[in-house]
Structure 1
Amino acid sequence: MTTLPDRPNTALLVIDIQNGVMADAHQRDTVIANIAALVDKARTQDAPVIWVQHSDEHLTKGSDAWQYVPELARHETEPLLHKTYGDAFEDTDLEGVLAAAAIGRLIVTGAETDACIRSTIHSAFTRGYDVTLVGDAHTTQDQSAWGAPPPEQVIAHTNLYWSDHRAPGRTAAVTDAESIAFTS
């Protein structure tokens, strides 16, 4: 139901599952296992898997912290986008990659829930994409020392408000990893 014409395909977006990001992430191993299962499912169903990798002054490009976690292996044919802003669309070629593959629906996984995930799902939605957030395949670190709620509350709140997000001509949804389908 995307508002983007002639974009019937679905892609899996894997955002920032990097060593430095995931080192202290809430339910790290469970989230990575759920993402790994989704990557396998997407590949089996011939859905594109698009990888996003962040760098900034705390996550230096090329460092061990910047590398994707060893549990996830990207295939050489799968797009890898490098970003320096929270939103995976900002100053990247994500829109071009999605247009070239006729993608109108995104299945979103990754980290950090309260930053890169939220900004990317909102950005995709306002651009006309249908956006499904995988409720048990995104995470964040504990930012409560700086006034944020605990990670499990950040994740639960994001799942809650995204499951009720509405706009004309597109859909927002939250689904668990096991229930995701890449084909209709």
Structure 2
Amino acid sequence: MIRKTALLIIDAQVGIIEGQLGPVFQPSTLVQTLKKVREDAYSKGIPVLYVQDADVGEVGSDDFAIHPEIAPLPSETVIQKLATDSFHGTDLHEKLQALGINHLVITGCKTEYCIDSACRKATTLGYDVTLVKDGHSTSDNQVLSAEQIIAHHNTCLHGLGNIEPFILVRESTEDIFAPTHDSYR
């Protein structure tokens, strides 16, 4: 099967990365990784779609804005959501289908909520997923540090699948836009 890939940047908003809903673990490192991954996508002609949490600050506020270092181009798709699941109540799936996408590279915030939900839901919708190991982050909670949460999710999501589609966790330094899923089938 021919794989067509898109990059999904989820909730990379100022209010999460640096603001009152964060800061996330290693915010500047995360932003630099997201910039590099996005530039790689651009150089390969990979579509980039953004998901923005409508509950993060007021529309138009700094907290609500996608981080300025990775702000979308005017031609790029930005989908606003209310749920942790980027697909729930949005037209994300329809937009991806219209582009012929069947492989998603997922990055963004927060690991245990919106990243986890998007990865799992994407497989049930028929997408193979590459989660960028160093391209998502979160904040400490009362039980675990952000670093532990990230490591845990990188471990438990790697190889997770639903019938046929599944998730691979790969470093941003790898060729993440070339899916390797078929070599495991």
Superposition TM-score, scaled by structure 2 size: 0.89
Q: Is the 8 A contact 2:159 2:166 kept in 1?
A: no
Alignment RMSD, CA only?
Answer: 1.5
Whole-angstrom distance in 2 between the partners of 1:55 and 1:25: 18
The one-letter amino acid paired with 1:172 is: I
Superposition TM-score, scaled by structure 1 size: 0.90
Q: Residue 182 of structure 1: which of 156, 174, 177 is its match? A: 177
- Give CA-to-partner distance per residue, 1:41-62, whole Å, 9 cap, x none: 1011001000111112x52222
Whole-angstrom distance in 2 between the partners of 1:125 and 1:166: 6
Q: Is the 8 A contact 1:50 1:78 kept in 2?
A: yes
Alignment of 1:52-131 (within 5 A): 52-56=51-55, 59-131=57-129
The one-letter amino acid paired with 1:46 is: G
Whole-angstrom distance in 2 between the partners of 1:88 and 1:71: 22
Partner residue, 1:4: none
Shift of 1:168: 2.8
Q: Is the 8 A contact 2:25 2:147 kept in 1?
A: yes
Partner residue, 1:11: 6
Q: Is the 8 A contact 2:54 2:81 kept in 1?
A: yes
Identity %: 35
1:169 aligns to 2:164 (yes or no): yes
The one-letter amino acid paired with 1:50 is: L
Whole-angstrom distance in 2 between the partners of 1:89 and 1:155: 22
Could you say what secondary structure the match of 1:52 adopts? strand
Gaps in structure 1 of 5+ consecutive residues? 2-6
Shift of 1:12: 0.4
Gaps in structure 2 of 5+ consecutive residues? 180-185
Could you say what secondary structure the match of 1:21 adopts? helix
